[in-house]
Amino acid sequence: MTNDAPPKPVKPPVNWRLLGLQLAVVATVLLIFGWMLHNMFSNLAKRGIMVGFDYLERTARFPIAESVLDYTPADSFAWAITVGVANTLFISLIVIVLSTVLGVLLGLARRSTHPLAYGLASAFTDAIRNTPLVVQLLFWYGFITYGLPASAEAFNPAPGVFFTDRGLYFPSLRIDGAAWIFWLTIIMGGAFFVYAQRRAARETRKTGLKSGRRNLLIVPATIVAALIVWAVFGLTLDVSTPVLGRFNFGGGLLLSPEFVAIILGLVLYTTAFIGEIVRSGIGAVAKGQWEAGRAIGLSERQNLRFVIAPQALRIIVPPLTSQYINILKNSTLGLVVGYPELNFVIATTINQTGQAIEGVFILMVVFLSISIAASLLMNWYNSRIALTTR
Amino acid sequence: MREIFFSDLASAMTTLILAVVILTAVPQILSWAIFDSVWTGDPAACVDAGACWSFLGEKHPFILFGIYPPDERWRPLVVILLLIALALWTLPTAHWTRRTLYLWIAGVFTALLLMRGGVFGLQHVPTADWGGLPVTLLLTVLSLAISFPFAIVLALGRQSKLRIFSWASIGFIEIVRGLPLLSLLFITSIMLPLMLPEGITIDNLLRALAALTIYAAAFLAEVIRGGLQGVNTGQAEAARALGMRWVQTTRLIVLPQAIRKVIPPLTNTVVVVVKNTSLVLVIGLFDLLSAGRAALSDPDWPAPYAETYLFIAVIYFAICFGISRYSLWLEKKFEQGVQ
């Protein structure tokens, strides 16, 4: 090629070679897929399995040990799968809340100068992050079902609380009567408090004066209102404590070994990862920010709260999002310890009906849509706290 | 002392709480693991005692090698040692040569041949009888090796200006990453046999390997994409200006720089892959964890769950912790190299 080659035309001509390449790849992929689909349908036809979602209407006839939504084996497959989705979301939500709180504490502990806190936090993080979650789950499940004593000699750490090999028993509180009015009062009071606080903050920003000093009065006012509602509607508190019967405990709230194992295992595992995210997020804030905070006379805690945390949050939120989606995905391991989440229900359904493709399809659709919804939500939050440059 | 542990109220509280926790937990753990534990003896000794280490003494060959014929256990042992030796040989960056790559290929083939047998007078052992640590290690190495080229193609595809390639890559990566690995294992173990023509059955080990490979490919692709994005576009433009074709530019200029940039995170992905292999127990494959579970089902012993899972956890920990420390070391080394 010489240096005085003519300049290229502005609009490049169609590159037939590349177009052909793309078409060839697409054709090959489609051919392989078509061949596989053809095999699949002929295999299914030979086994006498009809492809379609009609089976969802039929009675499920298998039990689900525990569920957030009411379920009996007389319900349909569709309802069984819904119950599975609800269980998956339920444990994911609990784990998200607990491991976020604990993860922040762990992250702070790993940055602290306190040698005990730092040492324990680091050892915990290394141990948890470098072993598979399944092993941890099975360990906890084995620990509960074989390590804890039988009901007769239950471990009794606090009055009314019993740890046994059949699960953990706690006293439960239940409000008899029209409890919803009571809760509504409290929620309304809380909402009003939040609203008043935000208004006061806006006022402060506008005028520079402190305002909303009387907002705190809303809290006792709400409590008084709730108590009045309690008296007027004649609500009573029903305390149920677990009592040892002939073979087992009755009454109270029972957390099954499966539930405890999946929650404990997932919370500890995720806490280690969130702790690491928090630690590196705080570490990534420029050193000058700490120094500037100290220079204007903020205490270490104020500095962390008002200067460092808002900046660290921007770094923390994206990896935190993927951690939350990981929790959802890891909750499928409930299957290993026998907690009936979505994967468990789908596997049972496929076993019972042979409707493999439909089951797999539902599984994919549910997980992908929850993952996408979660990442959209977090993206929205991320854009809210992102740096606004003027 | 006082300044560190009791400088203010918060740190005093922390000290007190942690001290109480440590003082209550450590004696209990010690008495379970050491003072009340059983080191030798028969199952009866383990009843109402602390840790039953004698169970591991009896069962560790089964946990490590699974149901592999007991007389042939030297073969999986050699496989384990061979793979560990190869991994250790590869650690120094000076050994990252083409020769090492050939060594790995030869090593993995030898390992597979040794496990399978049927040649050189070795007894044939079907994959259904493979088990324990060799399965875990082989699944890790094979899924990484097979997925790596696919990951590069996917990463390049995602960056490609050719719409069809980028859409296909994005679709594949996002779908796989959106699914739990457990579901993917189900999908391959249920769907793969259905999708092949009648008469062709596909090995359980291969089904698991397929799922692990697909998953690893999607993850590695994202890591490699990070590297590709980090390569200055001027590099590719300069290569074009020299008259290099796309294939040459990518192979000789862009990819080497991109992959060099992401070697530490790639090493970290190995940890994820190692941990992921433990999931194959749900489709009935006999890896380290499943072998441990099977060992526990022996009715003669009083089910020492905690001990067995600790033993397995320690093996995984040794592998994963080693790799993650190595990754940190590489990161430091590379940073120094840049400056």
**CA–CA min distance A236, chain B (Å):** 37
Instruction: Report the percent of chain B where pLDDT is more than 70.
Output: 95
| Backbone dihedral region for residue B274 (phi beyond 0: left; psi -120 to 50: alpha; all else: beta) | alpha
Q: Which residue has the tokens 């997925």?
A: B147
Q: Which residue of A has its CA nearest to B199?
A: A43
Non-local CB neighbours of B79 within 8 Å, separated by 6+ positions: B111, B114, B115, B134, B137, B138
Q: Which residue of A has its CA nearest to B309?
A: A139
* Interface touch B289/A126, C-beta < 8 Å: no
Please give the Cα distance from B158 to B146 (Å, whole number). Answer: 19
Query: Quick one: tokens of A332?
Result: 């499928």
Chain A residues whose beta carbon lies within 8 Å of the beta carbon of residue B175 = 364, 368
Through-space distance between the first and last CA atoms of chain B, rounded to whole angstroms: 40
**Predicted local distance difference test score (pLDDT) of residue A1:** 46
Chain B residues whose beta carbon lies within 8 Å of the beta carbon of residue A18 = 162
Chain A interface includes B312 (CB < 8 A): yes
Q: Is the Cβ–Cβ distance between B90 and B96 less than 8 Å?
A: yes
Cα A329 to the center of its chain, rounded Å: 9
Q: Which helix (H) or strand (E) holds A367?
A: helix A356-385
**Predicted local distance difference test score (pLDDT) of residue A271:** 94
Chain A residues whose beta carbon lies within 8 Å of the beta carbon of residue B305 = 138-139, 141-143, 145-147
Quickly count: other Cβ atoms within 10 Å of residue A87's Cβ: 26
Which of B18, B179, B289 is opposite residue A134, by nearest beta carbon?
Answer: B289
Which of B19, B309, B320 is opposite residue A139, by nearest beta carbon?
Answer: B309
Q: Is the Cβ–Cβ distance between B15 and B6 less than 8 Å?
A: yes
Query: Using CA atoms in the order B138, B139, B140, B146, what is the torsion angle rounded to 10 degrees?
Result: 100
DSSP designation for A155: E
Instruction: Note the helical H segments in chain B.
Output: 2-5, 9-30, 43-46, 53-65, 74-90, 98-116, 133-159, 163-178, 181-195, 204-230, 233-241, 246-248, 255-261, 263-277, 288-296, 305-338
Which of B179, B195, B310 is opposite residue A36, by nearest beta carbon?
Answer: B195
Chain A interface includes B33 (CB < 8 A): no
- Predicted TM-score of the model (pTM): 0.84
**Residue of B3, B309, B326 to mutate when probing chain A, most A C-beta within 10 A:** B309
Which of A25, A42, A360 is opposite residue B191, by nearest beta carbon?
Answer: A360
Chain A interface includes B9 (CB < 8 A): no
Quickly count: other Cβ atoms within 10 Å of residue B147's Cβ: 24
Q: Is the Cβ–Cβ distance between A157 and B24 less than 8 Å?
A: no
Q: Which residue has the tokens 């590489």?
A: B330
For chain B, which ranges sit under pLDDT 50? 339
Chain B interface includes A31 (CB < 8 A): no
Domain ranges of chain A: 77-151+255-385
| Helix (H/G/I), strand (E/B), else coil: A163 | strand
Mean pLDDT, all residues of chain B: 82
Among B150, B155, B146, CA closest to B222: B155
DSSP string spanning B103-149? Answer: HHHHHHHHHHHHHH--STTPPP--GGG--BHHHHHHHHHHHHHHHHH
DSSP designation for A304: I
| Helix (H/G/I), strand (E/B), else coil: A42 | helix
pLDDT tens for chain A, 390 residues: list them: 455 666 655 666 677 877 888 888 888 888 988 888 888 888 877 777 777 777 777 777 777 878 777 887 878 888 888 888 999 999 999 999 999 999 998 998 888 877 888 888 889 998 999 999 999 999 998 888 877 777 777 777 777 777 877 778 777 777 776 777 888 888 888 888 888 888 888 888 788 777 767 777 888 888 888 888 878 877 777 777 777 776 677 777 778 888 999 999 999 999 999 999 998 888 888 888 889 988 988 887 788 888 888 888 888 887 888 888 889 888 888 888 888 888 888 888 888 887 778 888 888 888 888 888 877 887 787 777 766 655
Please give the Cα distance from B188 to B42 (Å, whole number). Answer: 42
* Interface touch B282/A371, C-beta < 8 Å: no
**CA–CA min distance B233, chain A (Å):** 20
| Backbone dihedral region for residue B162 (phi beyond 0: left; psi -120 to 50: alpha; all else: beta) | beta
* Interface touch B194/A44, C-beta < 8 Å: yes
**Predicted local distance difference test score (pLDDT) of residue B337:** 64
Chain A residues whose beta carbon lies within 8 Å of the beta carbon of residue B274 = 132
Query: Quick one: tokens of B171?
Result: 């679709």
Q: Which CATH superfamily is domain A77-151+255-385 in?
A: MetI-like (1.10.3720.10)
Non-local CB neighbours of B339 within 8 Å, separated by 6+ positions: none
Residue-wise pLDDT tens digits, B256-281: 888 888 888 888 888 889 898 888 88
**CA–CA min distance A305, chain B (Å):** 16
Which of A333, A356, A363 is opposite residue B194, by nearest beta carbon?
Answer: A356
Chain A interface includes B104 (CB < 8 A): no
Contact residues, B window 159-188, toward A, CB-based 8 Å cutoff:
162, 164-165, 168, 175, 178-183, 186-187
**Predicted local distance difference test score (pLDDT) of residue B339:** 46
Residue B235 burial class via C-beta count within 10 angstroms: exposed 0-12, middle 13-18, buried 19 and up: middle
Chain A residues whose beta carbon lies within 8 Å of the beta carbon of residue B180 = 328-330, 332, 343, 367
Q: Which residue of A has its CA nearest to B304?
A: A146
Chain B residues whose beta carbon lies within 8 Å of the beta carbon of residue A333 = 182, 279
* Interface touch A134/B276, C-beta < 8 Å: no
Chain B interface includes A300 (CB < 8 A): no
* Interface touch B309/A130, C-beta < 8 Å: no
